[in-house]
Amino acid sequence: MNTILIRGVPPGLARDAWWMAPGEPSGVADGGRAAQPSLPGFAAVGALLVLVAASDLLIWQVSAPGLSIAIMILAIAGTALALRPGTMQDKRAMLWAGLGLVLSLLPIVELVQALSLAFALLGLSHALVWIALGADGTASRALRGIARLPRAGLAQVWKDGRSALDAGSTIRPGWSGLRGLVRDWGLSLGLGLVFVTLLAAANPVLDSWLKVVVDWQLAESITADRLTFWGAVCVVLWPALRLAAVGERMNRPARVVPARPLSVGLFNPNSVTRALFTFNGLFVLQSGLDATYLWGGLSLPEGMTHAAYAHRGAYPLLVTALLAGLFALLAQPHLVGRRHLRWLLLLWVGQNVLLVASSALRLDLYVEAYGLTRLRFAAFLWMGLVAAGLGLMLVQLQLGKSTGWLTARALLMGIATLYVVCFVNVAGVVAAHNLSRQDISLDAYYLCELGEGAVPAIRAHDAAGSTPLCLATLEINEPQDWREWGYRNARLRRSLPVTVPNDPTGEAQ
């Protein structure tokens, strides 16, 4: 690009025009001197102020944020994209960024909870990374960028903060920058405000004049907590507005460390061989006992019930299967060239699958006797994931794939399971299951503390003519405005007229 030189403009004035830059490093040095520090433009600073105001409106002023969080995240991603217009030309990066963001926001539209917030933040990070990478984006770079984004973002906040403080001394001689302004004016302005406040309290005339100029009610609403919230929002959002600079850190090539088998300490070919023989023998004994008492229905020793037998072994056996899976991963590098060890490991993994199935049956027997809880629901899911992961390991061993192949697919399977769980009303499932059982002792206190997700099932139970389960009438939260709206909450409120009996006037209670 040709440079236009306007004669008569001092070099210092040209250097003072850093604020006209779009916010990216210029790398231009003048007269052999070092290049000036990269400073953000007015666009980034203005966008930050707008986003802080939006976060105050959508999150801070809302008692129970719902849909407003999703809108805030969309606003952040849209602003970041607007400051990186070059990414709009790459349809592939736009597609991946938009698709990941939309999918990650669906759980938070369903219900705001810790898991849905985690998915929303992960989706925002995914979108920001693709916007930063643009045409250079690949799946591996995107994953590496998501992992590096928090650290790179904080480093950029620190760098830009120092550059802003030192801007005056490095760009305009004779002006000491923001740090100098604070040093020269901080005492007079700070102590002056204190004196003005005290004088206004002592002088009604001065106080009436100040009320014309200053809205004291607005000033009183700006509390320390609110200022802290604004500051945290600035720190979190600033990297999203400086993606060009942050992308340089995220896009650095990863250091490749050659994979080596764990051959020190207790892991070596001889120890792995002996361990596989020993562990297979132990698991054959355990599987035989379960086949006899659980699957075969043989009577247990006197004084022991199937519920007690199931409860005692469900969780320890699951931990055993997890440790066994970890051992199988660490033992795989020592199987090269040893076909008999490979078959022993296949037998070992197969027995672990059977062990997880036995744990699931034990837990099912315990639930049949004592009812379902959130923890037991989560345990069923965890057992299914462990069993599926061990099944993947069998496939990996048969196909000769690497442990990286197994880890990537197991991680994807776990994330997909958690994503689906975001749309499941676990409290409703637990309440409906327990209330439909007549042969178990209901824990009324536990059911009444499950939250609004259990209200429809409890209301249906009470409407059937039974004694009210809870001492207090359970209600479903009514959103105060659109910012608190949630899809699950709306479904629960719509379901109440179906389960609540009508009064003589024909209106739902």
Q: Which residue has the tokens 């929002």?
A: 233
Among 424, 451, 471, the domain boundary falls at 424
Average pLDDT for residues 361-375, to the nearest whole number?
86
Tell which phi-psi region holds residue 465, choosing left (phi > 0), alpha (psi between -120 and 50) or beta.
left
Please give the pLDDT value at position 368. Answer: 86
Which residues lie closer than 8 Å to 465 by C-beta, 6 or more apart?
Answer: none
In a domain, 459, yes or no: yes
Question: What is the pTM (predicted TM-score) of this model?
Answer: 0.75
Using the predicted structure, report yes or no on whether residue 140 has a pLDDT greater than 60.
Answer: yes
Please give the pLDDT value at position 437. Answer: 85
For helices 177-202 and 204-213, give the axis angle rounded to 10 degrees. Answer: 130
Q: Which residue has the tokens 């006992």?
A: 289
User: Are 310 and 408 within one domain?
Assistant: yes
User: Are 87 and 226 within one domain?
Assistant: yes
Give me the domain span that covers residue 177: 37-186+215-252
Tell me which of 146 and 15 has the higher pLDDT. 146
Cα separation, 441 vs 450, whole angstroms: 17
In a domain, 355, yes or no: yes
Which tokens is 437 given?
């059982």
Among 424, 440, 462, the domain boundary falls at 424
Tens-digit pLDDT profile for residues 415-434? 999 999 999 999 999 999 99
In a domain, 368, yes or no: yes
HSE of 303, CA atoms in CB hemisphere, 13 A: 0
Tell me which of 203 and 55 has the higher pLDDT. 55
Tell me which of 85 and 396 has the higher pLDDT. 396
Using the predicted structure, report yes or no on whether residue 11 has a pLDDT greater than 70.
Answer: no
> If pLDDT is split at 50, 70 and 90, which confidence band does 207 have?
low
User: Are 90 and 153 within one domain?
Assistant: yes
In a domain, 278, yes or no: no
Average pLDDT for residues 208-218, to the nearest whole number?
61
User: Are 63 and 105 within one domain?
Assistant: yes
Please give the pLDDT value at position 302. Answer: 66
Please give the pLDDT value at position 128. Answer: 92
User: Are 60 and 164 within one domain?
Assistant: yes
User: Are 420 and 434 within one domain?
Assistant: no
Cα–Cα distance list, 420 to 51, 107, 196, 425 (Å): 31, 9, 58, 11
Average pLDDT for residues 259-269, to the nearest whole number?
59
Tens-digit pLDDT profile for residues 439-467? 788 888 999 999 999 999 998 888 877 67
Using the predicted structure, report yes or no on whether residue 310 has a pLDDT greater than 80.
Answer: no
User: Are 316 and 338 within one domain?
Assistant: yes
Using the predicted structure, report yes or no on whether residue 500 has a pLDDT greater than 90.
Answer: no
Using the predicted structure, report yes or no on whether residue 508 has a pLDDT greater than 50.
Answer: no
User: Are 84 and 231 within one domain?
Assistant: yes
Whether 342 and 335 have beta carbons less than 8 Å apart is answered as yes
Please give the pLDDT value at position 349. Answer: 86
In a domain, 344, yes or no: yes
Q: Which residue has the tokens 């259990």?
A: 454
Among 370, 389, 424, the domain boundary falls at 424
Cα separation, 398 vs 463, whole angstroms: 56
Tell me which of 371 and 15 has the higher pLDDT. 371
Tens-digit pLDDT profile for residues 325-347? 788 888 887 777 677 778 888 88
In a domain, 6, yes or no: no
Average pLDDT of the chain is 78
In a domain, 296, yes or no: yes
User: Are 110 and 177 within one domain?
Assistant: yes
Please give the pLDDT value at position 509. Answer: 43
Please give the pLDDT value at position 171. Answer: 42
In a domain, 14, yes or no: no
Structural domain total, the chain: 3
Using the predicted structure, report yes or no on whether residue 106 has a pLDDT greater than 90.
Answer: yes
Distance of CA 27 to the CA centre of its chain: 37
Which tokens is 365 given?
């027997």
Whether 259 and 328 have beta carbons less than 8 Å apart is answered as no
Whether 328 and 345 have beta carbons less than 8 Å apart is answered as yes
Which tokens is 436 given?
């439909």
User: Are 85 and 232 within one domain?
Assistant: yes
User: Are 170 and 56 within one domain?
Assistant: yes
User: Are 296 and 236 within one domain?
Assistant: no
Cα separation, 42 vs 68, whole angstroms: 27
